């Protein structure tokens, strides 16, 4: 007697329907495994490793169990220069400044949507507060927040973060703010009143990398660097992606690694290794390649399906670095995919990306202000202001703009001064520098 699979009225096998129903249940959070390694030359690299951090500052401080659903994972590298004060201060204060900028009682989707704006506010607030210390050091920051399968990366400077999906495709999640590598940043710095050029010795040809003057910094964005100029801004590039439930591996490293190893080369060294061993191997190979010329730091984070406590497998023939993202298809999964246990296609979905240095653009509200943000709090430092005291970030927008300046967000007077300085509208220093001009 011939047997047939039981089907419903639409001709879909019942087994597939049951698997679809299971797939529609709540997706479990991934397991997070991580490791770090460091070889120190100057003692200016610092890391932050928090596999379980509560969304609200101070939550769980009394020892109560608020549940895993309330936790995120945070990993960061701070590569200091001209001393370690900026890196240490940022390590100790940035996460609280970011979380304090997110209102309580948001849904998971609202929290994810609010995070990019909160990262901008947190970076700028941390920079503003550190500069009151009158210390002259600065730091790069690559700041990674993992919330379930969503990865959000905020970065200033040149400490890079890359993601390798379970199938072996590599994605850039951070920006490179070295002036040699970023023409848009060169244009922004010069438009804001800074000078960009190479070191000029006795009127000869410029030597070395492009630098900002005054100060001679090779980067266009950082936290700190009070002696360089307001055009060196702390506004981060932010990228937010969602992984499939096949997972992936993050590699976060300072320039001591990336000046020695290519991205794919670094990943190849980690094949089959757990996170901590992978981080150690990358640092070892970087130092072997170029010598210990700089602090060399690496964090490896594996985002794995629950209970799969090993690095994600790479399917052959799927390598290659890409900077653009494939968007998740809206079609339902095929029957074959269902039969393979409801595993999502290995597609990294881009949710958000923005790199503008303009606060008016970065602090814009995508949701009603009354639902997500306190209208009369400063959008950067969260200072509570009386109605009418705040200054709209859109106050200088053209008259034909569709943005309503009365709808906020608003800045306090000191954060408005910071905003204008970063945009080149205030020049607190007159300076002269001997530089080789960038060719027009």
- Assigned fold of 31-358: Phosphatase 2c; domain 1 (3.60.40)
Q: Tell which wins on pLDDT, 3 or 33.
A: 33
Summarize the confidence of residues 5-10 as an average pLDDT.
Answer: 47
Does position 258 have pLDDT exceeding 90, yes or no? yes
Query: What's the rounded Cα separation, in Å, for the pair 57 and 79?
Result: 25
pLDDT of residue 194: 84
Question: What pLDDT does 114 receive?
Answer: 93
Residue 178 has pLDDT above 50, yes or no: yes
**Exposed/middle/buried for residue 110 (C-beta within 10 Å: 0-12, 13-18, 19+):** middle
**Band of residue 167 on the pLDDT scale cut at 50, 70, 90:** confident
Return the higher-pLDDT residue of 48 and 438. Answer: 48
CA–CA distance from 136 to each of 81, 144, 414 (Å)? 9, 26, 20
pLDDT band at 345 (very low <50, low <70, confident <90, very high): low
Flag whether pLDDT at 52 surpasses 50: yes
Q: How many C-beta atoms surround the C-beta of residue 26 within 10 A? A: 6
- How crowded is residue 430: how many other Cβ atoms within 10 Å of its Cβ? 5
pLDDT digits (tens, 9 = 90+) for 239-256: 999 999 899 999 999 999
357-401 confidence digits (pLDDT tens): 888 889 875 544 444 456 678 888 888 888 778 888 876 655 444
Average pLDDT, the chain: 79
Taking 50 as the threshold, does the pLDDT of residue 433 lie above it?
A: no
Kindly report which listed range (42-46, 143-147, 175-179, 368-372) carries the lowest average pLDDT score: 368-372
pLDDT at 19: 53
* pLDDT band for position 26 (cuts 50, 70, 90): low
Q: In the predicted model, what is the mean pLDDT of residues 211-221? A: 87
Contact 418, 380 (CB under 8 A): yes
Q: What is the mean pLDDT of residues 295-320?
A: 73
Residues of the chain with CATH 3.60.40.10: 31-358
Position 421 confidence tier, pLDDT thresholds 50, 70, 90: confident
Mean pLDDT of 411-426: 83
Look at residue 371 in the predicted model and tell me its pLDDT. Answer: 45
pLDDT of residue 328: 36
Say if CB 326 and CB 348 are below 8 A apart. yes
| pLDDT at residue 331 in the model | 36
Average pLDDT over residues 16-39: 74
Predicted confidence (pLDDT) at residue 262 exceeds the cutoff of 80: yes
Query: What confidence tens digit (pLDDT) does each residue in 182-211 have?
Result: 999 999 988 888 888 888 776 666 778 888
Which pLDDT score is estimated for 339? Answer: 38
The model carries a pTM of 0.81
Mapping DSSP onto H, E and C, the string for the chain reads CCCCCCECCCCCEHHHHHHHHHHCCCCCCCEEEEEEEEECCCCCEEEEEEEEEECCCCCCCCCCCCCHHHEEEEEEEEEEECCCHHHHHHHHHHHHHHHHCCCCCCCHHHHHHHHHHHHHHHHHHHHHHHHCCCCCCEEEEEEEEEECCEEEEEEECCCEEEEEECCCCEEECCCCCEHHHCHHHHHHHHHCCCEEEEECCCCCCCEEEEEEECCCECECECEECCCCCCCCECCCEEEEEECCCCCEEEEEECHHHHCCCCHHHHHHHCCCCCHHHHHHHHHHHHHHHHCCCCCEEEEEEEEECCCCCCCCCCCCCCCCEECCCCCCCCCCCCHHHHHCCCCCCCCCEEEEEECCCCHHHHCCCCCCHHHHCCCCEECCCCCECCCCCCEECCCCCCCCCCCCHHHCCEECHHHHHHHHHHCCCCCCCCCCCCEEECCC
Per-residue pLDDT, 80 = 95
* Range in 38-52, 104-118, 215-229, 340-354 the model is least confident about: 340-354
Strand 160-165 vs strand 170-172: parallel, antiparallel, or unpaired?
A: antiparallel
- Provide the percentage of residues in the chain whose pLDDT is more than 70: 72
Check: CB of residue 178 under 8 Å from CB of residue 158. Answer: yes
Which pLDDT belongs to residue 20? 47
- Would the pLDDT of 23 be above 60? no
**Comparison of pLDDT for 430 and 18, the residue scoring more:** 18
77: pLDDT strictly greater than 90: yes
Highest mean pLDDT among 57-66, 68-77, 192-201: 68-77
pLDDT by residue (tens digit) across 110-164? Answer: 899 999 999 999 999 999 999 888 788 999 999 999 999 999 999 999 999 999 9
pLDDT at 343 over 60: no
């Amino acid at each position: 007697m011939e047997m047939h699979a039981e089907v419903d009225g639409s001709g879909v096998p019942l087994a597939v329907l049951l698997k679809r129903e299971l797939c529609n249940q709540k997706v479990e959070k991934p397991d997070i495994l991580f490791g770090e390694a460091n070889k120190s030359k100057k003692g200016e690299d610092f890391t932050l490793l928090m596999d379980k951090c509560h969304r609200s500052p101070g939550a769980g401080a009394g020892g109560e169990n608020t549940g895993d659903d309330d936790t995120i994972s945070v990993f960061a590298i701070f590569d200091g220069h001209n001393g370690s004060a900026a890196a240490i201060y940022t390590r100790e204060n940035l996460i609280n400044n970011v979380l304090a900028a997110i209102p309580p009682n948001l849904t998971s989707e609202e929290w994810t949507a609010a995070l990019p704006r909160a990262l901008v506010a947190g970076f700028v607030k941390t920079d503003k507060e550190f500069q009151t210390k009158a210390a002259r050091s600065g730091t790069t920051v690559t700041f990674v927040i993992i919330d379930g399968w969503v990865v959000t990366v905020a970065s200033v400077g040149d400490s890079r973060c890359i993601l390798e999906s379970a199938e072996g495709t590599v994605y850039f999640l951070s920006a490179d703010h070295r002036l040699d590598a970023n023409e848009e940043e060169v244009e922004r710095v010069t438009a804001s009143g800074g000078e960009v050029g190479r070191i000029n010795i006795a009127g000869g040809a410029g030597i070395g990398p492009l630098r900002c003057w005054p100060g001679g910094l090779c980067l266009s964005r950082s936290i700190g660097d009070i002696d360089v100029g307001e055009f060196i801004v702390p506004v981060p590039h932010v990228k937010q992606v969602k992984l499939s439930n096949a997972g992936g591996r993050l590699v976060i490293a300072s320039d001591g690694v990336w000046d020695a190893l290519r991205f794919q080369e670094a990943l190849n060294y980690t094949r089959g290794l757990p996170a901590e061993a992978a981080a150690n191997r990358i640092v070892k190979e970087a130092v072997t390649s170029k010598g210990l010329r700089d602090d060399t730091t690496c964090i490896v984070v594996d985002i794995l399906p629950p209970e799969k406590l090993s690095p994600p497998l790479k399917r052959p023939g799927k390598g290659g670095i890409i900077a653009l993202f494939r968007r998740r298809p809206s079609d339902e999964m095929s029957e074959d995919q269902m039969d393979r246990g409801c595993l999502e296609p290995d597609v990294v979905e881009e949710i958000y990306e923005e790199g503008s240095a303009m606060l008016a653009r970065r602090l814009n509200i995508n949701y009603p202000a009354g639902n997500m943000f306190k209208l009369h709090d400063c959008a950067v430092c969260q200072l509570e202001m009386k109605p009418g005291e705040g200054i709209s970030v859109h106050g200088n927008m053209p008259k034909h703009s569709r943005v309503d300046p009365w709808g906020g967000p608003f800045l306090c007077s000191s954060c408005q001064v910071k905003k204008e300085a970063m945009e080149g509208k205030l020049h607190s220093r007159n300076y002269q520098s001997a530089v080789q001009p960038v060719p027009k």
